[in-house]
Structure 1
Amino acid sequence: MTERVIIAGGGPAGVACAIWLHKLGADVLLIEAQDRLGGLQRRSPYENLWIPGVQGRTGQQVAAALDAHVAALGVPVLRGCAVTQVSADGRRVTTAQGDVEARFFVIATGSRPRSGGFTASAKVAIGPGEAMEALDVLDKPVAVLGGGDNAFDQARFVRDRGGRPTVFSRTPPRAQNLLQDMIADVPVIVGPYEADQTAMTVNGEPFAAFGVMYGFEAVIPDGLTPELDNGYVKVDRFGETSLPGVYACGEVTDYWHPCVTTSAAHGIQVAKAISRRL
């Protein structure tokens, strides 16, 4: 098989898809905007306890292992090369290094933390991981905005680093009970609130830092208009979008349940579906 398949996004889904297509003999090119592969795992300095058979590795180490695997197999990759535009049919992909044509295009661009109108800074972290760890929280009041798992998890890390977190959730918290129980000593304010980044206040109360944990949103390359489902790319059971020849896998599809293992599995399924068509 010599037909070219272009995959945009080098997270677990894109990497798995690229590896399998490469091993199946397809002419595949993986394009990643960052200088390293790994997706959201690049942001996580925490041990990832959820990947079967992988123990004692942080998310960042998992990301490094994905990058090393691709390199060891000789999978063609463009690192540090953002996809700036894709033709409506997905056949022509424009990057900083020029245009590339393909028979099949795979959207594996994943998701990014929602900003909620805030701007990342030395005092405002958007999303979990590195940004939160970079905040100066020792003996300082920190407002964690959001009511999901990440909000409660990050509040715990702030507390354990010597900070004084308060969780603000507009609705009853959605975080699993286990995480809520872990920070029983942390104030949780439920109800409407006004967070002012300029004044660094929430409902008029001053805070030294904000942690914005408003969930994630899909990242879709410019030029493509696939059918969406609740903001994420809608796919059929084979991973094909509403655009013929354009596939999507991993967190950009809100695959149940989004994590490293399910994203990788979804990428493999898409690779198999494309290889059959090739």
Structure 2
Amino acid sequence: MDRYQVIIIGGGPAGLSCAIWLTKLGASSLLLEASGGLGGLQTRSPYENLWIPGVQGKTGQQVAASIAAHALDVGAELRVGQRVAAVARDGDGFRVATPEAEVHGRFVVIATGSTPRTGGFTSSATVAIGPGEPMEALDVAGRAVAILGGGDNAFDQARFVRDRGGHVTVFSRGVPRAQTLLQALVPDVPVIVGAYEARQSDMTVNGQHFDCFGIQYGFEAVVPAGLDIKRQGGYVEVDRFGETSVADVFACGEVTDFWHPCVTTSAAHGVQVAKQISKRL
């Protein structure tokens, strides 16, 4: 069984930044990413990311590729397509199991991020779950589209659907939580506030037929099995150093309850965790 000082689970901005810093600090680390690519949720975004200082003009997908390239350039050991099945205490560290192999780490970093909430819906040619690529894949021109949700992504995606020629309506169970700026960008889009019944079986909302649904119910943490880690609001609870309720298990980025989730804060959190682990080593 291969042994490392640190096993990082998750290859988004937080995990990649942690791997970059641990490598530069001289720690032996291995990053395991479940999907076939690196960059986390940014790989889903074909839109320009205007929120990250210094990378204006780059799409989320380009940002993801750039961070991954940086990790490779510094020599970080990265393995994609390695979904972690379980993590368990093992002697002086942890045994991390994937379907292909088992590895051992003195420390574990959970950087598994978050995934769009499905709300009980299933992705299809007419139902997109979450923002970015799933929504862009919908054929919306000239079609009636219901956006379900009242947050930032709901109004952002409503704008993109409208600009692509779709006839969009937003359904929000309560007063929309989206930023006023985002709501102001779609003054011509109907917003229905209150309880509603959306049925994928016949593509109706409160009995009204729609050609497409965009499910924008926010995100939820993805946590590997095997560790009894304390959570807060569905996310992993960490202290100011990024350590979880399980000693020697750290977490960083959008899987945690630590900071407002975005690429910049996730990357910074990964750096802080790497620095803290290097002190322990």
Structure-1-length-normalised TM-score: 0.98
Assess if the C-alpha contact under 8 Å between 1:255 and 1:262 holds in 2.
no
Q: Share of identical aligned residues, percent?
A: 68
SS of alignment partner, residue 38 of structure 2: coil
Residue 180 (structure 1) aligns with = 183
Residue 32 (structure 2) aligns with = 31
- Whichever residue aligns with residue 97 of structure 1, its letter is E
Please, what is the CA RMSD of the aligned residues? 1.1
How far 1:88 moved relative to its partner? 5.1
Assess if the C-alpha contact under 8 Å between 1:88 and 1:225 holds in 2.
no
Residue 86 (structure 2) aligns with = 85
How far 1:41 moved relative to its partner? 0.1
How far 1:261 moved relative to its partner? 0.5
Residue 59 (structure 1) aligns with = 60
**Paired residue total:** 277
- Whichever residue aligns with residue 22 of structure 1, its letter is T
How far 1:71 moved relative to its partner? 1.4
How far 1:255 moved relative to its partner? 3.0
How far 1:256 moved relative to its partner? 1.8
How far 1:99 moved relative to its partner? 0.4
Map 1:94-113 onto structure 2 (within 5 A).
94-113=97-116
- Whichever residue aligns with residue 193 of structure 1, its letter is Y
- Whichever residue aligns with residue 176 of structure 1, its letter is Q
2:250 is equivalent to residue 265 of structure 1 = no
Residue 167 (structure 1) aligns with = 170
Deviation beyond 3 Å, 4+ runs, structure 1: none
SS of alignment partner, residue 103 of structure 1: strand
2:81 is equivalent to residue 71 of structure 1 = no
Residue 231 (structure 1) aligns with = 234
2:200 is equivalent to residue 190 of structure 1 = no
Distance in 1, matches of 2:208 and 2:228, equals: 43
How far 1:254 moved relative to its partner? 3.1
Assess if the C-alpha contact under 8 Å between 1:112 and 1:219 holds in 2.
yes
Name the stretch that deviates more: 201-210 or 63-72: 63-72
How far 1:135 moved relative to its partner? 0.4
Map 1:2-17 onto structure 2 (within 5 A).
4-17=5-18
Assess if the C-alpha contact under 8 Å between 2:39 and 2:68 holds in 1.
yes
Assess if the C-alpha contact under 8 Å between 2:17 and 2:71 holds in 1.
no
Assess if the C-alpha contact under 8 Å between 1:255 and 1:263 holds in 2.
no
Assess if the C-alpha contact under 8 Å between 2:4 and 2:30 holds in 1.
no
Assess if the C-alpha contact under 8 Å between 2:252 and 2:269 holds in 1.
yes
Gaps of 5+ in 2: none
